[in-house]
Structure 1
Amino acid sequence: MNTKINKLRIVLTFLVVASLLGCSNVKKDSIPWVDLFDGKTLNGWSKIGGNANYKVENGAIVGVTVKNTPNTFLRSDNMYGDFILELDYKVDSTMNSGIQIRSNSFENYMNGRVHGYQVEIDPSDRAWSGGIYDEARRGWLNPLEGNEEAKKAFKQNDWNHYRIEAISDTIKTWVNGVPASYLIDDKTAEGFIGLQVHSIKDHQKEGTNIIWKNIRILTDSLEKYTTKSPLNPIVTKNNLTIDEAKKGWELLWDGKTTKGWKGAKLDAFPEKGWVIEDGVLSVLSSGGAESRAGGDIVTKSLFGDFELKVDFKLTPGANSGIKYYVDTEINKGPGSSIGLEYQILDDALHPDAKKGNHEGSRTVSSLYDLIQADVNKPINPIGEWNTAYIKSINNHIEHWLNGVKVLEYERKSPEYRKLVSESKYVKWHDFGELEKGQILLQDHGDLVSFRNVKIRSITKTAKE
Structure 2
Amino acid sequence: MKKSSISIFSCILSFLILSCSPAEKTEVSEWRALFDGKTLTGWKAVMGEAPFEIKDGVIIGYAKANTLNTFLITDEVFGDYIFEVDLKIEDLTSNSGVMVRGQFDPAARDGKGLVFGYQIEADPTERAWSGGLYDEARRGWLYPLDLNPKAKSAFKMGEWNTYRIEAIGNEIKSWINGQEVAYVVDDVDAKGFIGLQVHSIQNPEDEGKMTYFRNARVKTENLEPTPFEGDVFVTNTKLNDLTEYEKSKGWKLLFDGQSSEGWFGAYKETFPEKGWIIKEGILSVQASDGSESTSYGDIVTKEKYKAFDLTFDFKLTEGANSGVKYFVTLSEKNQGSAIGLEYQVLDDEKHPDAKMGFEGNRTLASLYDLIKANKQPRFVKPIGQWNTGRVVVYPDNKVEHYLNGVKVLEFQRGSQEYRDLVAKSKYSVWENFGEAEEGHILLQDHGDAVSYKNIKIKTLK
Q: Same fold (TM over 0.5)?
A: yes
**Cα contact 1:313–1:384 (8 A) shared by 2:** yes
What is aligned with 1:254?
256
Whole-Å separation in 2 of the counterparts to 1:379 and 1:420? 27
What is aligned with 1:384?
385
Deviation for aligned residue 1:171: 3.7
Change (3 A) 1:79 1:415: farther
Aligned residues: 321
Deviation for aligned residue 1:247: 1.6
Whole-Å separation in 1 of the counterparts to 2:191 and 2:437? 47
What is aligned with 1:13?
none
Letter of the aligned partner of 2:408 in structure 1?
A: V
Alignment partner of 1:243: what SS? helix
What is aligned with 2:97?
73
* Residue 421 (structure 2) pairs with residue 419 (structure 1): yes
Change (3 A) 1:138 1:285: farther
What is aligned with 1:101?
117
Equivalent of 1:132 in 165, 171, 189? 171
Normalised to the residue count of structure 1, the TM-score between the two structures is 0.59
Change (3 A) 1:282 1:374: same
Deviation for aligned residue 1:294: 1.4
Letter of the aligned partner of 1:315 in structure 2?
A: T
Change (3 A) 1:106 1:39: closer
**Cα contact 1:53–1:63 (8 A) shared by 2:** no
Letter of the aligned partner of 1:369 in structure 2?
A: D
Whole-Å separation in 2 of the counterparts to 1:45 and 1:303? 54
Change (3 A) 1:65 1:441: same
Alignment partner of 1:445: what SS? coil
What is aligned with 1:316?
318
Change (3 A) 1:248 1:350: same
Whole-Å separation in 2 of the counterparts to 1:412 and 1:109? 31
Deviation for aligned residue 1:236: 1.8
**Cα contact 2:121–2:133 (8 A) shared by 1:** yes
Normalised to the residue count of structure 2, the TM-score between the two structures is 0.60
Matches within 5 A, 1:260-279: 260-279=262-281
What is aligned with 1:209?
216
**Cα contact 1:361–1:370 (8 A) shared by 2:** yes
The answer for unaligned runs of 5 or more in structure 1 is 1-36, 84-98, 119-123, 143-168, 176-192, 198-205, 213-233, 460-464
Matched residues, percent identical? 43
**Cα contact 2:313–2:452 (8 A) shared by 1:** yes
Deviation for aligned residue 1:456: 0.4
Whole-Å separation in 1 of the counterparts to 2:89 and 2:240? 39
* Residue 334 (structure 2) pairs with residue 333 (structure 1): yes
**Cα contact 1:261–1:269 (8 A) shared by 2:** yes
What is aligned with 2:460?
458
The answer for unaligned runs of 5 or more in structure 2 is 1-40, 52-57, 62-70, 77-82, 108-114, 137-163, 176-180, 199-212, 220-235
Letter of the aligned partner of 2:447 in structure 1?
A: G
Matches within 5 A, 1:29-428: 41=45, 44=48, 53-54=59-60, 65=86, 73-74=97-98, 101-103=117-119, 111=128, 113=130, 114-116=132-134, 132-133=171-172, 139=183, 141=185, 170-173=188-191, 194-195=195-196, 207-210=214-217, 236-330=238-332, 332-356=333-357, 358-376=358-376, 378-393=379-394, 394-428=396-430
Whole-Å separation in 2 of the counterparts to 1:102 and 1:334? 48
Deviation for aligned residue 1:243: 3.4
What do residues 295-349 of structure 1 show as CA deviations (whole Å, max 9, x unaligned)?
Answer: 000000000000000100000000000000001121x232100000000000000
Change (3 A) 1:314 1:105: farther
Whole-Å separation in 1 of the counterparts to 2:271 and 2:50? 53
Q: How big is the alpha-carbon RMSD for the aligned residues of Structure 1 and Structure 2?
A: 4.3
Deviation for aligned residue 1:376: 2.0
Whole-Å separation in 2 of the counterparts to 1:286 and 1:458? 37
**Cα contact 1:272–1:293 (8 A) shared by 2:** no
What is aligned with 1:91?
none
Change (3 A) 1:409 1:242: same
**Cα contact 2:312–2:388 (8 A) shared by 1:** yes
Letter of the aligned partner of 1:73 in structure 2?
A: G
Letter of the aligned partner of 1:391 in structure 2?
A: V
Whole-Å separation in 1 of the counterparts to 2:308 and 2:99? 37
Letter of the aligned partner of 2:385 in structure 1?
A: E
What is aligned with 2:157?
none
